[in-house]
């Protein structure tokens, strides 16, 4: 049975709540035990109720064995063993899908962000924020100046596209309210743009600084030399999603492609009318480039309008088959029944 939750007008959830902690893990055998132990200790000290969800993303070491031991020992530790390495976005989604907490907080298994900052994340969520991000201060040393420059440039481009000002989109510690988790869907490597995607839902966001600590064991596997290229390619998807997801039926494919198609076909039609007049006046039009251009414009215009119609059908099929609504309700106020 789902426990009762009181949600005041200000948006703060009552103290009787559960906080789900999602930890994506890939080859973190020497770190995950320290992470889970730290969370259990934090739970005891803070008085919060934690649901700890450790997701083994196809690790090739003994990560799953460690997670399994803790899940057998502690009732609030849940282990999720993926079939193979699906990637960080998929690991997040696996944790989100089985989480039941009023709040959901993501944590990196490498402990680069100290666990005690979870209390601060929860505090901001209690204040009414829907999404909380952490900014790792001191992450970049002198030897990482090149990576810092690339990261800073990418961050500026993303900010320009989305309008969301966040210093550290890659931070592993983030906090979400349940309403976001129930509607957020991550595909590919969308976890890099979580702050930008939650903007689609009108989320109230904030970010605060945390101390950065180098991992003691292993290395991060959620990175690579091709990451910059992937980020640039993903920016195209980000732009499309942000533009069409907020008000999908305001810029409908039928309108977008229909208007463009009608304009293109109209220009082709004008050229055809002009050539028809010349033909009626006895002039030769067979060798005129305008003839080919007019025919081409008419064909492209008609195809564009048909593409818009197909897009309309696809959009409606998506919303109706997935059960997703074109809106999200933050809170429902309803007058009690009078007998």
Render pLDDT for 199-210 as a digit per residue (tens, 0 to 9).
878 889 999 999
Quick one: pLDDT band at residue 33, thresholds 50, 70, 90?
A: very high
More confidently predicted of 150 and 127: 127
Question: In angstroms, rounded to a whole number, what is the distance separating the alpha carbons of residues 312 and 258?
Answer: 10
Q: Name the phi and psi angles at 50, rounded to 5.
A: -100, 140
Question: In angstroms, rounded to a whole number, what is the distance separating the alpha carbons of residues 61 and 112?
Answer: 20
Question: In angstroms, rounded to a whole number, what is the distance separating the alpha carbons of residues 305 and 255?
Answer: 9
In this model, does residue 74 exceed pLDDT 60?
Answer: yes
In this model, does residue 333 exceed pLDDT 80?
Answer: no
Quick one: pLDDT band at residue 1, thresholds 50, 70, 90?
A: very low
In this model, does residue 23 exceed pLDDT 50?
Answer: yes
In this model, does residue 170 exceed pLDDT 90?
Answer: no
* pLDDT recorded at residue 316: 67
* pLDDT recorded at residue 254: 64
Mean pLDDT computed over 181-202: 83
In this model, does residue 338 exceed pLDDT 80?
Answer: no
pLDDT tens sequence across 222-274? 454 455 566 666 776 676 666 665 555 555 566 667 788 889 999 999 999 99
> Which of these ranges, 79-88, 213-222, 282-291, 330-339, has the smallest mean pLDDT?
330-339
> Of 20-24, 111-115, 214-218, 314-318, which has the strongest mean pLDDT?
20-24
Quick one: pLDDT band at residue 302, thresholds 50, 70, 90?
A: very high
* pLDDT recorded at residue 313: 74
pLDDT tens sequence across 82-94? 998 888 888 999 9
* pLDDT recorded at residue 127: 94
CA atoms within 13 A on the CB side of 150: 11
* pLDDT recorded at residue 196: 85
Give percent of the chain with pLDDT exceeding 90.
Answer: 42
* pTM of structure: 0.70
Mean pLDDT computed over 27-42: 94
Quick one: pLDDT band at residue 320, thresholds 50, 70, 90?
A: low
Query: Which 3-state string (H, E, C) describes the chain?
Result: CCCCCCCCCCCCCCCCCEEEEEEEECCCCCCHHHHHHHHHHHHHHHCCEEEEEEEECCCCCCHHHHHHHHHHHCCCEEEEECCCCCCHHHHHHHHHHHCCCCEEEECCCCCCCCCCHHHHHHHHHHCCCCEEEEEEECCCCHHHHHHHHHHHHHHHHHHHHHCCCCCCCCCCCEEEEHHHHCCCCCCCCHHHHHHHHHHHHCCCEEEEEEECCCCCCCCCCCCCCCHHHHHHHHHHHHHHHHHHHCCCCCCCHHHHHHHHHHHHHHHHHHHHHHHHHHHHCCCCCCCCHHHHHHHHHHHHHHHHHHHHHHHHHHHHHHHHHHCCCCCCCCCCCCCCCCC
């Amino acid at each position: 049975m789902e426990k009762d939750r009181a949600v005041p007008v200000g948006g703060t959830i009552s103290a009787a709540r559960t906080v789900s902690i999602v930890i994506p893990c890939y080859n973190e055998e020497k770190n995950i035990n320290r992470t889970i132990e730290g969370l259990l200790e934090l739970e005891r000290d803070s008085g919060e109720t934690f649901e700890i969800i450790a997701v083994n993303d196809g690790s090739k070491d003994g990560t799953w064995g460690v997670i399994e031991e803790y899940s057998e020992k502690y009732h609030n530790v849940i282990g999720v063993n993926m079939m193979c390495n699906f990637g960080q976005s998929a690991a997040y989604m696996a944790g989100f899908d089985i989480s039941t907490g009023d709040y959901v907080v993501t944590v990196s298994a490498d402990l680069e962000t100290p666990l005690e900052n979870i209390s601060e994340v929860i505090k901001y969520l209690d204040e009414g924020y829907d999404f909380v991000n952490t900014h790792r201060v001191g992450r970049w040393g002198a030897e990482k100046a090149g990576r810092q420059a690339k990261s800073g440039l990418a961050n500026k481009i993303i900010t320009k596209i989305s309008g969301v000002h966040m210093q550290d989109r890659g931070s592993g510690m983030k906090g979400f309210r349940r309403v976001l988790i129930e509607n957020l869907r991550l595909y590919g490597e969308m976890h890099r743009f979580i702050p930008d995607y939650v903007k689609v839902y009108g989320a109230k966001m904030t970010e605060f600084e945390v101390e950065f600590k180098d991992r003691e064991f292993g290395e991060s596997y959620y990175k690579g030399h091709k990451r910059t290229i992937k980020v640039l390619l993903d920016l195209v998807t980000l732009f499309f999603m942000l533009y069409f997801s907020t008000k999908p039926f305001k810029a409908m494919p039928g309108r977008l492609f229909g208007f463009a198609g009608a304009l293109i076909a109209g220009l082709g039609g004008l050229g055809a009318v002009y050539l028809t007049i010349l033909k009626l006046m006895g002039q030769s039009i067979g060798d005129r480039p305008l003839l080919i251009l007019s025919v081409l414009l008419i064909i492209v215009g008609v195809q564009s309008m048909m593409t818009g119609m197909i897009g309309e059908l696809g959009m409606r099929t998506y919303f109706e088959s997935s059960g997703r609504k074109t809106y999200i309700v933050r809170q429902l106020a309803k007058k009690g029944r009078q007998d």
